[in-house]
Amino acid sequence: MFKSFFLSLTLGASVVLLTACATQNLNQGKQDFDSQNYTAALAKMQVLADKGNAQAEYAVGYMLYYGKGTPVDQKQGIQWIDKAADQGLAEAEQAKAILDKAVAANPLDTH
């Protein structure tokens, strides 16, 4: 019984710690972006986006689409924004709707 309780407590503390680290990295990435240190922001956000963080997915998509800290890659940018929108992130859903209209009017070169 005690062993089970201790294991639950340890796992719970680990989840809280990992969540706190992710939040800190997300906040640092936002600060880097606001300071126009786009390369550092992209590096921090990419790690979180690869783990499925919707806010980071949207940020990576935005930076790729507009070439902030990376060469412009609109196709890949849209893919990241779509991932964030699929998770229900409101900003990404709005951006996706706008981008879908823009792409329909002027399709991206996919070659």
Where in the chain are the domains?
A: 2-105
- Fold observed for domain 2-105: 1.25.40
Where is pLDDT greater, at 46 or 23?
A: 46
Contact predicate 57/84, CB 8 Å = yes
Tokens of 92: 């990404």
Note the pLDDT tens digit of each residue in 28-86. 988 988 999 999 999 999 999 999 999 999 999 999 999 999 999 999 999 999 999 99
For residues 28 and 61, what is the distance between their CA atoms, to the nearest angstrom?
17
When mean pLDDT is compared across 6-10, 53-57, 66-70, 96-100, the lowest value belongs to 6-10
CA 25 → CA 1, 2, 44, 46, 97, distances in Å? Answer: 36, 34, 6, 11, 28
List the one residue out of 87, 34, 88 whose CA is nearest residue 63: 34
CA geometry: angle 26, 32, 38, nearest 5 deg: 110
